[in-house]
Amino acid sequence: MKKIIATEKAPKAIGPYSQAVEANGMLFISGQLPVDPATGTIVEGGIAEQTDMVLKNIGAILEAAGYSYDDVIKSTVLLDNMDNFKAMNEVYGKYYQSEPPARAAYQVVKLPLGVMVEIETIAAKR
C-alpha cells in the first residue's frame, strides 16, 4: 500500500510529484532543494548552507513519516559542480556520523531553480 507523505516543514513540491512516498516499510523522499519552507526562497550562501538546508528539509520529511536519519539507507547527491563535493561532504557527514547510508554523488549540467545541490533519500524501518 502506498502512502503519500507531506509536511509544511519542508518545501512544497514544484511539480507533479510528492515530497515522499511510503510503501512496504520504506520511505522514498523526492529530491530536496535548498529552499527554506518558511519563505519559499533558496537559502542564501554557498554549498555548505545549501547542503544544510537540503538535509534539514529531508529531516522534516523523515520526522513527518515517523522515520529518522538513522533509518536512511541510501542517498543520491546531485551537484552542479563536483568541486563542491568536499564542502558538501563535510556538512553531510554531520547528519550521518555513525553507520552512514550508502550514497552516490553526481555532477549534473543544471539543477532546478539554479541551486547547487539536490539530494534524494531512501529510508527503511529497522
Q: State residue 43's pLDDT score.
A: 97
pTM: 0.96
- Mean residue pLDDT across the chain: 96
CATH superfamily for domain 2-124: RutC-like (3.30.1330.40)
Contact 61, 29 (CB under 8 A): yes
User: What is the Cα Rg of the chain in Å?
Assistant: 14
pLDDT digits (tens, 9 = 90+) for 28-77: 999 999 999 999 999 999 999 999 999 999 999 999 999 999 999 999 99
pLDDT bucket at 14, cuts 50 / 70 / 90: confident
Give the alpha-carbon dihedral of 22, 67, 48, 117, to 10 degrees. Answer: -10
**What is the widest separation between alpha-carbon atoms in the chain?**
41
**Percent of the chain at pLDDT above 70?**
100
Structure-block grid coordinates of residue 68: 529518522
Tell me if residue 92 falls in helix, strand or coil.
helix
| H or E element that contains 122 | strand 117-124
Q: State residue 126's pLDDT score.
A: 75
Give the residue-averaged pLDDT of 105-122: 97
Residue ranges of domains in the chain = 2-124
Q: State residue 117's pLDDT score.
A: 98
